[in-house]
Amino acid sequence: MIRALQIAGVLDCGLKPPDLRRRHSALRLLSPVFCLLYSIVLCFSLLGCARPEEEPIWEKVKIGDLAPSGDGTPQAKFVKSVHLEIHVIEIPADNIDELDKIRKKLHIRPLRLKNYQAFSANSFLARFGKSDMWNEIRGMLNAADGQEVARVSLMLPDGRPQTLAITGLSHVRTVFYTAADGSRQGANIGPGILGLRIKGEKIPGRVGICEVTAYPVFSLPTKSAIPQLEAQMKRREFPFTSAAFGLRMSPGDFVFLAPKEYVSDQTALGGLFFSNVQGRLFLGTTTHKLPEHKTAVRVFLLACTRIDI
């Protein structure tokens, strides 16, 4: 606009008064036009230098992307499982008769055994109890100078077994056991671990109750992510199914698993599973005796604490 007025001034120098008046009138008419044109040019030049605005992020989102999935509830992963708490208690071997008193307090039903004669011949004893008997049984074990040496919480995914390690085998040995047909047999196992394999399964159409089975098993202490090696390790396992038991459990139920008698022979299944021939120091707090190192037997309490299947 300033440049336009300078040009107009130069042109005015050569004009006569009448023409000058006409020129001034023309300038007054053209001035708004020059202002408008200058403003348009200025706006376009500014727009050309400005950075383009980014598209708002919400304009790129579809309505379906904002809608909740499914029924609108959080999609948390739910693991169907049975929860057991296992207490391992050792008592002096010379107090094993106290276990017979506990046996008489508990029940056989609903326990099921694959073969009662073989189960008993392997020196296994199992009884069932409910939560209202728990404190009494623990008190009787304490009175027998029992010491809790381990407490293990197991989560059993539906149908997938877990193994509780009992004792380690540092070398190959032959372990003798009574088979389901009553014959005496030997299994060459080791090195590895002797454990208790436990499996929990859902009962179709039932809530708050599950099927639990358990049996002694020899297995290798590690697992492999390579399927071929895992298969080889599985083939080396040896399940002692003649000492298997099963039952239906609800939260608050427990199983008392103990030796029928003391077996010091570490080549016998019952002796290897239940007996601690190295022994331990018993303080004698409940029996009012001096601390003494004694051979021991293991007792297991398997308590069902929760069912999520």
Q: How confident is the model at residue 79 (pLDDT cuts 50, 70, 90)?
A: low
pLDDT digits (tens, 9 = 90+) for 199-241: 999 999 888 999 999 999 999 876 666 776 667 777 789 999 9
In angstroms, rounded to a whole number, what is the distance separating the alpha carbons of residues 100 and 259?
10
**What's the pLDDT score for residue 45?**
47
pLDDT digits (tens, 9 = 90+) for 40-78: 444 444 444 444 444 443 333 333 333 334 444 444 454
**What's the pLDDT score for residue 144?**
93
**What's the pLDDT score for residue 74?**
46
Among candidate residues 91, 78, 82, 39, the one with its CA nearest the CA of residue 280:
91
**What's the pLDDT score for residue 39?**
52
3-state secondary structure 203-214: CCCCCCCEEEEE
Contact call for residues 129 and 107 (beta carbons, < 8 A): yes
Q: Which helix (H) or strand (E) holds 165?
A: strand 162-169
Tokens of 213: 């089975």
203 against 285, higher pLDDT: 203
Contact call for residues 154 and 86 (beta carbons, < 8 A): yes
**What's the pLDDT score for residue 88?**
98
**What's the pLDDT score for residue 52?**
44
Average pLDDT over residues 248-252: 97
pLDDT digits (tens, 9 = 90+) for 122-180: 999 999 999 999 999 999 999 999 999 999 999 999 889 999 999 999 999 999 999 99
18 against 296, higher pLDDT: 296
Among candidate residues 293, 297, 274, 273, the one with its CA nearest the CA of residue 283:
293
pLDDT at 193 exceeding the cut of 50: yes
Q: Which of 70-79, 166-175, 247-256, 268-277 is predicted least confidently?
A: 70-79
In angstroms, rounded to a whole number, what is the distance separating the alpha carbons of residues 80 and 308?
5
Rounded to the nearest integer, the mean pLDDT of the chain is 80
- Helix runs in the chain, H state only: 2-12, 17-49, 63-66, 97-105, 116-121, 134-143, 227-235, 269-274
Instruction: Give the HSE-up count for residue 130: Cα atoms under 13 Å, Cβ half-sphere.
Output: 5
In angstroms, rounded to a whole number, what is the distance separating the alpha carbons of residues 10 and 46?
31
Q: Mutual orientation of helices 97-105 and 134-143 as an angle, nearest 10°?
A: 170
pLDDT at 115 exceeding the cut of 60: yes
Q: Which helix (H) or strand (E) holds 8?
A: helix 2-12
**What's the pLDDT score for residue 296?**
97
Q: Can you say how many angstroms the Cα of residue 59 is from the centroid of all Cα atoms in its chain?
A: 42
**What's the pLDDT score for residue 1?**
42
Terminal Cα-to-Cα distance of the chain (whole angstroms)? 85
**What's the pLDDT score for residue 264?**
95
Q: Which helix (H) or strand (E) holds 217?
A: strand 210-219
Q: Can you say how many angstroms the Cα of residue 77 is from the centroid of all Cα atoms in its chain?
A: 11
**What's the pLDDT score for residue 224?**
60
Please report, rounded to a whole number, the percentage of residues in the chain having pLDDT higher than 70: 71
Pairing assessment for the beta strands 184-189 and 173-178 based on DSSP bridges: antiparallel
In angstroms, rounded to a whole number, what is the distance separating the alpha carbons of residues 87 and 150?
6
